[in-house]
Amino acid sequence: MPDQGHPTREDQIRSGSGFSRRDFLKGSGAAVAATTLAQSVSETEAAQQAGTKVAPAKASAVKLDINGKAVTVTVEPRVTLLDVLRDDLSLTGAKEVCDTANCGACTVLLDGKAVYACSVLAHSAVGKKIMTAEGLAGQGVDAVAQCFVKHDATQCGYCTPGFVVATRAFVAAKPNATVEDIGKGLGGNICRCGTYAGVIAAALECSKKGGK
């Protein structure tokens, strides 16, 4: 399935429409959200054919591929990927900060593309490879993570995992990035302590090395 089902970071940063997809999903009710899924549509059709009342908001099993491991959780269609990561799986690298797709603290990779996990429903992440900040510590520490350490690109650290994951996707897509490129490409993450200088230095170095 192509990525169009998920808002990418580029859709969400300030230059975007200002429309919060997450609010749409939440506000329009779980049933509508659920019917956007092929699987649920077929279930709905089957239910309609059987003449039974449609009640798709019940919790059901979701199989997810997270950091290379298959995990199954049972959640309602309205539950976000972020809540599943944090509350069901204790993968708390992705943080809940704005909950409205503005700050990037919950950034994860979905098939290599950086997305806000607060704006992705868990059910719609089925069949995609999900990578969280924890995935950067797998076999050997990731080069981007090491660059963040070197350039002191963390203070309180709460925005940091999201920033690192966003940077990981950015440097892979943009070798030899300039400071201006970084300003645009990492504009979807907010830091309150003010670590931007360190993040820029880290992103410059990693981008130069092509993210290796």
Name the minimum Å distance from CB 158 to other proteins.
3
Name the minimum Å distance from CB 44 to other proteins.
21
Using the minimum distance from each CB to other proteins, give the nearer residue, 40 or 189: 189
Please state, in angstroms and as integers, the Cα–Cα distance from residue 128 to each residue in 63, 65, 112, 131, 167, following that order.
10, 7, 9, 10, 20
How far is it, in rounded angstroms, from Cα 50 to Cα 150? 61
Using the minimum distance from each CB to other proteins, give the nearer residue, 6 or 168: 168
* Contact predicate 170/200, CB 8 Å: no
Amino acid type, 38 = A
Name the site residues for other proteins (rule: CB under 8 A): 13-14, 18, 20, 75-76, 78-79, 83, 86-87, 90-100, 102-103, 105, 132-134, 136-137, 141-142, 145, 148-150, 152, 154-161, 164, 180, 182-184, 186-200
* Contact predicate 125/89, CB 8 Å: no
- Report the DSSP beta bridge partners of residue 64: 71
Amino acid type, 8 = T
Using the minimum distance from each CB to other proteins, give the nearer residue, 184 or 209: 184
Name the minimum Å distance from CB 48 to other proteins.
26
Using the minimum distance from each CB to other proteins, give the nearer residue, 41 or 156: 156
